[in-house]
Chains A and B, each alone.
Chain A
Amino acid sequence: MWSRVGKRIAISIPVLVGVVLAIFVMLRIVPGDPVTTMLGEHVNPAVIEKISREMGLDQPVTVQFFQYVFHALQGDFGTSYRLNRNVTGIILDAFPNTVKLSLLAAVVAWVIGIVAGIVAAVRQNRLLDRLFMGCALMGVSMPVFMTALVLQYVFAFKLKWFPVSGFDSVKAMILPAIALGWNSAGSIARMTRSNLVEVMQNDYIRTARAKGLREHGVIVGHALKNAMLPVVTMMVLQISSMLSGAVLTESVFGVPGIGRLAVNAIETRDMPLLQGTVVFTTILIIAGNLAADLLYNVLDPRIREGA
């Protein structure tokens, strides 16, 4: 098992470098001089040149890249053009909000998704199954911003149960979390159901029945663990997809998180800030994928115990 773990980590490192390089290159093939874009057309060329030099933009791209990686490894993602502040600091201010939002959303998604998936599988092809799977597919098909808008309209505006926006109290976090988690809940429910239905076809399920287990015992005791192994992996993966999906929820509910930073950075053409947020989020996501994969290795005895 440990050799597998080592291999996985070894594969992740070049992917990580590749991703950072890709972001770096993509942001630098932008037409026009970044400093000119930032300051506007009518600024003294001497000033532009000075700022460019300060930011190291006069260096070849390869040199810039290695400098960037070198600094990033020390936790320095550069300085924001607009806010004139260290990008790392800006990100770390916004990061806790995004993490809270994503984790809460993950809990929402897991609980709703797993429960609905199991119930649907048990009542396969009955009314409840159709109903839950219809809802799940709707969850998967609804744009995140739509869920957010509908929740905001119904529960914040009409029923006044929750604040319309902000992220300063637990109460304010609930709607954004549901909006963000709803989508994942749909995919988790679908996957839980289909895995469970598939696992129930296995020979060892027949054995469990032949042993004298009753149907719920068969499901809870024998089918669930097998069915959930891949779902657990997917659940961890969902957290990372939430990190990026948070962009939309944050925008609807006015949550001061990383997603908002990225959108602002695009609007204000603040390249270092955009680069920082994207690199930061992507690193987290790659780490999350790795964690999901390792978790699977630990949970599945066939891999853990070796053949």
Chain B
Amino acid sequence: MNNHASNGSSLKLALAWAFVGIPLAWGIVMTLINALALFQ
């Protein structure tokens, strides 16, 4: 078992994190855009 990403599993790891990270990042950006109204 590895503690850190090895070459063999790095693609799998990148895909898994992208699968959850991209929707989350999109949601955060949308929220920040809406939050700007607070300081305008």
> Do A and B interact with each other, yes or no?
no
The interface of chain B, by Cβ under 8 A from chain A, is: none
The interface of chain A, by Cβ under 8 A from chain B, is: none
